[in-house]
DNA sequence: ATTCTCCGACTACATCTGTAATCGATTCGA
DNA sequence: TCGAATCGATTACAGATGTAGTCGGAGAAT
């Protein structure tokens, strides 16, 4: 849903709301990671952009707003993963897996974990 | 290398050059997919942006230029895949794999193919 | 030699993104 | 009650992006 793309800075805000919601703008600002210590106005701008993209909603609480995500993290992750697969791997899973497997140099532990997942899936 | 991000429109151009290079701007335009039938000026703008990002190079051929990729597709794909893994899966492969496996609803054939790849990797 | 055509370079311009300042209203503390 | 702190809303502004037009020069055709 809501095909508007969420930008990188906006994603930072979403991550905070996915971890804990509802939050006020000030709360969100307080939870920013250290490498993104934005000013409060910046956080408010991002929140209002997310509002207009229908990625979050807000509800009045006295004279401020409490923000909550409207898009679930799972949905977003699925969407972005699919986008990568479509853009770079012809939309197919196997080439993506092959690429990752080669690139990531899987450890023996990883391999057994994958095998376990596969067995689980078969049943 | 060359940390400048390649945009979506620029990627369309790169895909064409990855498939066949060197090409002139006109050649590139002629090979655009139907859903991106841009004007020649647009193609030229994108090529010059890619030039300044050092993603392609050009060599004079009479009075026009022949463009070739400087960044390999493999490198780009690796970079973008890692970016997704970092942004959404804490930089770790297993959660990404688990997500994809669940999402993509692997067929029996896929599963055997994965198992084959894994066996190959162990040796 | 003159005109036509084609090329790359430069310019354009709306939208999105990152990052923030300011402003008018409100409420809280004194 | 009166100033201080705080809110949300509005405005700002540079850089990236999508998409294209224009212009001056060089080759090609006549």
Mean pLDDT of chain A: 94
Q: What is the reported pLDDT for B3?
A: 64
CA distance B5 to B53: 8
Q: Tell me, yes or no, whether A16 and A64 share the same domain.
A: yes
Q: Is the pLDDT of residue B77 over 60?
A: yes
Q: Tell me, yes or no, whether A16 and A52 share the same domain.
A: yes
Q: Is the pLDDT of residue A6 over 60?
A: yes
Cβ–Cβ below 8 Å for B78 and A99 = yes
Q: Is the pLDDT of residue B12 over 60?
A: yes
Q: Is the pLDDT of residue A96 over 90?
A: yes
Q: Is the pLDDT of residue B96 over 80?
A: yes
Q: Is the pLDDT of residue B59 over 70?
A: yes
> Averaged over A42-50, what is the pLDDT?
97
CA distance A65 to A21: 12
Q: Nearest to residue A118, comparing CAs of B36, B116, B2, B4?
A: B116
Q: What is the reported pLDDT for B105?
A: 87
- Position A114 in a domain: yes
Tell which of B12, B73, B106 to mutate to test the A interface (max A CBs under 10 Å).
Answer: B106
- Position A88 in a domain: no
Q: Tell me, yes or no, whether A114 and A64 share the same domain.
A: no
Q: What is the percent of chain A where pLDDT is above 70?
A: 98
Q: Is the pLDDT of residue A97 over 90?
A: yes
**Quick check: B11 contacting A, CB < 8 Å?**
yes
> Averaged over B38-57, what is the pLDDT?
96
> Averaged over B102-120, what is the pLDDT?
93
Strand D close to B36 by CB, under 7 A:
yes
CA distance B26 to B121: 44
Whole-angstrom CA distances from B99 to A85, B3, B80, B92 are 13, 28, 17, 12
Write out the two tokens for A19.
Answer: 């971890």
Cβ–Cβ below 8 Å for B121 and A113 = no
Backbone angles phi, psi at B109, to 5 degrees: -65, -45
Residue with tokens 């000030």: A26
pLDDT range class, residue A3, cuts 50, 70, 90: low
Cβ atoms A24, A66 nearer than 8 A: yes
DSSP structural state of residue A71: S
CATH number of residue A32's parent domain: 1.10.10.10
In terms of C-beta density within 10 A (0-12 exposed, 13-18 middle, 19 or more buried), how is residue B18 classed?
middle
CB within 8 A of A100, min separation 6: which ones? B81, B85, B93, B96, B97
The DSSP H or E segment spanning B57 is: strand B56-61
- Position B1 in a domain: no
Q: Quick: pLDDT tens for A63-82.
A: 899 999 999 999 999 999 99
Range(s) of the domain holding residue A14 = 8-69
Q: What is the reported pLDDT for B123?
A: 77
pLDDT range class, residue A42, cuts 50, 70, 90: very high
Q: How many domains does chain A have?
A: 2
Q: Is the pLDDT of residue A123 over 80?
A: no
């Amino acid at each position: 849903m809501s095909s508007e793309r969420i930008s990188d800075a906006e994603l930072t805000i979403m991550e905070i709301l996915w971890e804990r919601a509802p939050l006020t703008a000030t709360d969100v600002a307080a939870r920013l990671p250290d490498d993104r210590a934005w000013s409060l106005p910046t956080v408010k701008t991002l929140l209002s952009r997310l509002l207009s993209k229908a990625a979050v909603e807000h509800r009045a609480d006295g004279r401020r707003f409490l923000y909550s995500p409207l898009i679930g993290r799972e949905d977003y992750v699925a969407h972005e993963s699919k986008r990568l697969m479509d853009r770079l791997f012809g939309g197919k899973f196997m080439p993506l897996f092959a690429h990752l497997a080669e690139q990531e140099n899987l450890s023996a532990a990883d391999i057994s974990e994958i095998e376990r997942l596969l067995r689980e899936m078969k049943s």
